[in-house]
Amino acid sequence: MKAVVQRVLSASVTVEGNKISSIGPGFLTLLGVAKGDTEVQLQKLITKIAALRVFPDADGKMNLSLKDIGGEHLLVSQFTLLGDASKGNRPSFIGAEAPALAEPLYNRALELSRTAGLPTQGGAFGADMKIDLINDGPVTLILEV
């Protein structure tokens, strides 16, 4: 399982010209589910995201978590994070989980994020999404579980 977590001032997802979700300050997380990933790994990942201390405190140090600042979470499924372009120029996605198995884990990620106390929005699994964001910092982390 791989996630790209970006600190944002705002972010939104549009599908077929309709904005389906948007957040203010917080995290935009792109989530890639690999073959064989489990809910145990997902729980570890969401717990880590909720606790990441990358927001500035009163002294300007990255010392506060998403929960500490009352931030929001936009969680978007992105199988291309599992792409392997090490051979040739066309990525292989054989490491990505099949949609029938990945979608339930993505939906569970949304639930776990909300259960962790984070106001959470999502994308549309398998859809052609347009994502607008204003990076903050920029602060971007790649997490693998």
**What share of the chain in percent tops pLDDT 90?**
100
Q: How many domains does the chain have?
A: 1
What pLDDT was estimated at residue 13? 98
- In the block, tokens 């948007």 appear at 22
Distance CA 43, CA 49 (A): 10
78 is an active site residue: yes
How confident is the model over 109-138, as pLDDT tens digits? 999 999 999 999 999 999 999 999 999 999
pTM: 0.96
Is 66 in contact with 50 (CB distance < 8 Å)?
Answer: yes
What pLDDT was estimated at residue 75? 98
What pLDDT was estimated at residue 114? 98
* Residue 104 lies in domain: 2-144
Both tokens of residue 145?
A: 């579980």
From residue 114, alpha-carbon distances to 101, 109, 127 in Å are: 21, 9, 22
What pLDDT was estimated at residue 37? 97
The CATH number of whichever domain residue 30 belongs to comes to 3.50.80.10
From residue 15, alpha-carbon distances to 57, 102, 122, 132, 139 in Å are: 35, 20, 12, 12, 26
125 is an active site residue: no
80 is an active site residue: yes
Q: Which of 38, 47, 80, 140 is catalytic?
A: 80
How confident is the model over 69-111, as pLDDT tens digits? 999 999 999 999 999 999 999 999 999 999 999 999 999 999 9
Q: Mean of the pLDDT values across residues 38-62?
A: 97
Q: Which of 6, 14, 29, 78 is catalytic?
A: 78
